Amino acid sequence: MEMHDSLKEGEKGAWVSIIAYILLAAFKIGTGYTTGSEALTADGINNSTDIIVSLAVLIGLRISCKPPDRDHPYGHRRAETIASLVASFIMAAAGIQVVLQACKSFFVTDRQAPDLLAAWIALGCAAVMWGVYRYNSRLAKRLNSQSLKAAAYDNRSDALVSIGAAIGIIGSRFGYPILDAAAALAVGLVICKTAWDVFIDAAHALTDGFDDTKLKVFRQTVHQTPGVERIKDIRARVHGSSVLLDVVVEVSAELSVGESHEISDEIEKRMQEEHQIGNVHVHIEPYVE
């Protein structure tokens, strides 16, 4: 898929999230106040911050597709990862706010159960967000987009949060009003957990961390390339939605420059075909027993 097409597809996913969050946030907050449900209101506040998260993803996608320039010879693909990092901070701030508000609610003595309508609304919104999650998850996998993957995780947590809110509201209607505040607390904790997961993934990528299991698979592919006698070194790092691979291989010292270059081309071809890695730098050295 061409870079321009990838950008358009990625933007489509971000816009789907933004539109869904705007509608659901307004609906949940308004209904939460009228029905007296703290859990539904907290869920709406969560969705309102998710609008900013989706905008960060959208901006990251746009910047990541800019071509290389003098200051960025490798391109701007890491803007996606930075967008994910920003998204994690926004999610964490929202989660902490919801947790604090829920904790205060536990000390309220005059507590009334919210209207059951709030539970049905929460379940309906959960179904909508689960649909958005499935859409963005498939899109992120197809485009190999880290920021869209973070957005999809956020969509999924929002759907689960709404289900939790509905359970708390229904429980409060059965004579346990405190369950509405407990559901709001659970909402906040889920938001914080999602923020932490997104932060860890983004920080790992920005510090050039890479999955050792994947690297072993790459090593096997290189080692099986005809003409490769030994792998002296192999390293990989995430660059936005792409992977940069550096490998040093040893080949027979009797080969000509042209023959050695053909081995290098074959390694690049195999990594592209088998692992969709187009950024491979191969250094050839003579093999010495």
CA distance 105 to 101: 6
How much of the chain is helix, strand and coil, in % rounded to 5? 70, 10, 20
pLDDT one-digit tens code per residue, 18-46: 899 899 999 888 888 888 887 788 788 87
Per-residue model confidence (pLDDT) at position 33: 84
Asked whether residue 15 carries a pLDDT value surpassing 90, the answer given is no
Mean pLDDT of the region 139-160: 79
> Which helix (DSSP H) or strand (DSSP E) does residue 271 occupy?
helix 257-275
CA distance 100 to 183: 13
Per-residue model confidence (pLDDT) at position 127: 93
Q: CB of 54 within 8 A of CB of 90? A: no
Mean pLDDT of the region 106-131: 82
Number of neighbouring beta carbons within 10 Å of residue 73: 7
> Per the CATH hierarchy, to which homologous superfamily does domain 3-206 belong?
Cation efflux protein transmembrane domain (1.20.1510.10)
Best CATH choice for the domain 212-287 from the list 3.30.70.1350, 3.30.70.260, 3.30.930.10, 3.40.50.1000: 3.30.70.1350
Q: Name, of 56-65, 136-145, 260-269, the range with top average pLDDT.
A: 260-269
Q: What is the DSSP letter of 45?
A: H
Per-residue model confidence (pLDDT) at position 1: 46
Write down the domain spans for the chain. Answer: 3-206, 212-287
This prediction has a pTM of 0.68
Which ranges of 36-177 does DSSP label H, i.e. alpha helix? 38-64, 79-105, 117-143, 146-173
Asked whether residue 57 carries a pLDDT value surpassing 60, the answer given is yes
Taking only Cα atoms into account, the Rg of the chain, rounded to an integer number of angstroms, comes to 24
Asked whether residue 232 carries a pLDDT value surpassing 70, the answer given is yes
